Structure 1
Amino acid sequence: MSVGAELRLAVVVLGASRGIGRAIARVAARDGNIVVLVARSPEDLAAAAAEIVGAGGEAFTIELDLASQDASSRMEAFLAAKGLACGVLVNSAGYGLRGAATSLPADEQLGIIDVNIRALADMTLRFLPGMVARRSGGVINLGSVAGFAPGPYMAFYYASKNFVRAFSTALHEEVRRFGVTVTCVAPGPVSTDFLEKSGADRAALFKVLPKLDADYVAHEAWQGFKSGRRLVVPGISSKLAAFIARILPSAMALRLIGRAQRRKRDPNPRRPETSIAAPARKPESAFGKPDA
């Protein structure tokens, strides 16, 4: 689909080199969309692009550190140079750290704010006005069931996902009358390398909750977005976890989550680097007005 006589609309996926981001890029491509893959690893980007091209899709790649202050302006310039415009933005990049806030490196914890919050908000503010002007498209923000509660021993990660949920919900209400959708996707634990790199795989809480498949989460996210939904919580276990987090008294939730995530020993954390497919179907553009 084109914008005027020059620019073509694309699905821009941040954190597209692996995990849920890579899976949702495949879903978007199967729907007949041009996909722009954004990540830091050139090798992973090349592999993700090869999957899309091999399936008959069209893919562009850009190596970009989302923690940089000029990331959104560089993204916009790249799209313009390729004759593209952002029709759908997928904010699926992010990371987390497990451990007491007083024991983890401050710069790595503040980096969670830079990537999970600032970069997500910056990219959204950069491209959402164009969607409103065209009265089509929208934004998919990757949240988490962690966004329904505070999270001792993963304080910055839980807080960042609280922001994503609140920010997405508010924007959805602001722009839905223009035919634009902002969807927050809030899965529970997903079988990606996020769990290992964040250290969450060693927490009792994440050992108890069932692991969702990244392809399943991506499919649910994409279909929910196209249906115009403001919140998608994939899977029964995730829905149950979100429900419990909402009804538990705050003091009880804090104690339970804290106990489930506290580690007996707190080794030096590793810097994580994380980044959200569906049955094939007839190509269908995601840029039209969302279904009612």
Structure 2
Amino acid sequence: MKEGTGKTALITGASSGIGQELAKLFAQDGFDLVLVGRREETLDRLADVFRNNYGTQQITVINKDLAREDVAQELYDELQSKGITINILVNDAGASTYGKFATETEWAREKELIHLNVLTTTLLTKLFLSDMVARNEGRILQLASMVSVTPFPLMSVYAATKAYVWSLTQSLNNELKGTNVTMTALMPNATATNFFREAGAPKLVVEDMMDDPAMVAKDGYKALMKGEAKVIPGGLGNKAQELMSYVSPQEALASLMRKLLSPKHESGQDQKTPAWTVGIGIALAAVAGYALVRAYTNANPIDKARYRQQAQSLGDSASGTISSIIDSVVGTYHNGKAKVESTLA
């Protein structure tokens, strides 16, 4: 018997990207599904694929715009009226805008994304979590994103909402201790979905180093089933980025993220930069930052004062240092690649 037999998973944002890949994994494991989103035809086609390929017994498609006010309560009430018990909730649906907050983005769209990313996510969590705690059984997966712990210029409101999701998830994890209910924060890096186009962004530097949504979903699914508090999908580069966010000056992180979110035609980048080169650069910066934190922690009071004074004077240049590390790694890669190609020619 499959693990999900007799249980139901609700996935928001299931029509594409990470949400669709997660829905596939639940279907493969024998879960009944509730698929929620605005693209009803896409969800219907997806349901047919799951029935034919995996023999999914029960799939409920619900067409709702989760950015609307009170829609979370509507969704919950509809499932209650149908007698559907939700064993796993996946809050995957999300949205963003792109551009400078003061002059380029529109409040109407930002209000919708705040409603979707924060209010709807919070109320869905509250409603279904209450039932799970009453049954002493259930799991919730929250899409928090790597930018929940870093600044994200040009998508500032999106990053702020993801920081909220991250904080909420970790706080609730503490409250759930002693129960059989778990909550997992999924923290992917940039992923190869239609996210940036839907946000209205042009082609960005970061899009040359995006992760596979199937990989992200697989890592998130495994962590959810193990009841882990968080998961960072992918390799060393992604995990190093999280470490860097804790030990590096916020100004440096903001500068790095601004560079990654720059349009490709503005950055002067005319070659694809593989993800591992940026990952190594981030890893080196993270290791250096970690070493500084350890040195500061173990120092005596006089040396700590000296560290603080030096850190203040170096703060303005930290951004350039991290960028230089990454630029150096990327440059080395391209120079080596050019030499190899010249030799083979």
1:221 equivalent in alignment to 2:220: yes
1:47 equivalent in alignment to 2:48: no
Give the superposition deviation at 1:123: 0.4
How does the TM-score come out when normalised to structure 1?
Answer: 0.83
1:273 matched to which residue of 2?
A: none
Give the superposition deviation at 1:37: 0.2
The alignment's C-alpha RMSD in Å is 2.1
**Alpha-carbon distance in structure 2 between the residues aligned to 1:167 and 1:44:** 31
1:73 matched to which residue of 2?
A: 73
Query: Do the aligned residues in 1 keep the contact of 2:73 with 2:123 (CA within 8 Å)?
Result: no
Query: Do the aligned residues in 2 keep the contact of 1:14 with 1:90 (CA within 8 Å)?
Result: yes
**Alpha-carbon distance in structure 1 between the residues aligned to 2:11 and 2:207:** 29
Which of the pair is proportionally richer in strand? Answer: 1
1:275 matched to which residue of 2?
A: none
Query: Do the aligned residues in 1 keep the contact of 2:190 with 2:207 (CA within 8 Å)?
Result: no
2:169 matched to which residue of 1?
A: 168
1:115 matched to which residue of 2?
A: 116
Q: Which moved more, 1:249-258 or 1:59-68?
A: 249-258
Query: Do the aligned residues in 2 keep the contact of 1:99 with 1:263 (CA within 8 Å)?
Result: no
Give the superposition deviation at 1:240: 2.2
Q: What SS class does the counterpart of residue 176 from structure 1 fall into? A: coil
> Unaligned stretches of 5+ in structure 2?
1-5, 267-345
2:251 matched to which residue of 1?
A: 251
The residue type paired with residue 140 of structure 2 is V
> Unaligned stretches of 5+ in structure 1?
1-7, 267-292
Give the superposition deviation at 1:207: 3.4
Q: What SS class does the counterpart of residue 224 from structure 1 fall into? A: helix
Give the superposition deviation at 1:245: 2.0
Q: What SS class does the counterpart of residue 61 from structure 1 fall into? A: strand
Which of the pair is proportionally richer in helix? Answer: 2
Q: What percentage of residue pairs aligned between the two structures are identical?
A: 28
Query: Do the aligned residues in 2 keep the contact of 1:89 with 1:138 (CA within 8 Å)?
Result: yes
**Alpha-carbon distance in structure 1 between the residues aligned to 2:50 and 2:37:** 16
User: How many residues of Structure 1 are paired with residues of Structure 2 in the alignment?
Assistant: 258
The residue type paired with residue 125 of structure 1 is K
Query: Do the aligned residues in 1 keep the contact of 2:141 with 2:184 (CA within 8 Å)?
Result: yes
Give the superposition deviation at 1:253: 1.5
Give the superposition deviation at 1:160: 1.1
Give the superposition deviation at 1:109: 1.4
1:180 matched to which residue of 2?
A: 181
Query: Residues 125 and 101 from structure 1, CA distance in 2 versus in 1: closer, same or farther, beyond 3 angstroms?
Result: same
Query: Do the aligned residues in 1 keep the contact of 2:204 with 2:260 (CA within 8 Å)?
Result: yes
How does the TM-score come out when normalised to structure 2?
Answer: 0.70
Query: Residues 201 and 244 from structure 1, CA distance in 2 versus in 1: closer, same or farther, beyond 3 angstroms?
Result: farther
Query: Do the aligned residues in 1 keep the contact of 2:202 with 2:263 (CA within 8 Å)?
Result: no
Give the superposition deviation at 1:75: 1.2
Q: What SS class does the counterpart of residue 89 from structure 2 fall into? A: strand
The residue type paired with residue 82 of structure 1 is K
1:235 matched to which residue of 2?
A: 234
**Alpha-carbon distance in structure 2 between the residues aligned to 1:201 and 1:30:** 36
Cα deviation 1:154-174 (Å, max 9, x = unaligned) = 100111111111111111111
Give the superposition deviation at 1:176: 3.3
2:197 matched to which residue of 1?
A: 196
Query: Do the aligned residues in 1 keep the contact of 2:40 with 2:63 (CA within 8 Å)?
Result: yes
- Equivalences for residues 49-64 of structure 1 within 5 A: 49-54=47-52, 55-57=54-56, 58-64=58-64
Cα deviation 1:60-79 (Å, max 9, x = unaligned) = 10001112222122212221
2:137 matched to which residue of 1?
A: 136
Higher relative contact order structure (alpha carbons within 8 Å, sequence separation ≥ 6): 1
Cα deviation 1:181-230 (Å, max 9, x = unaligned) = 110100111111113222456332x135x322212111111110111101
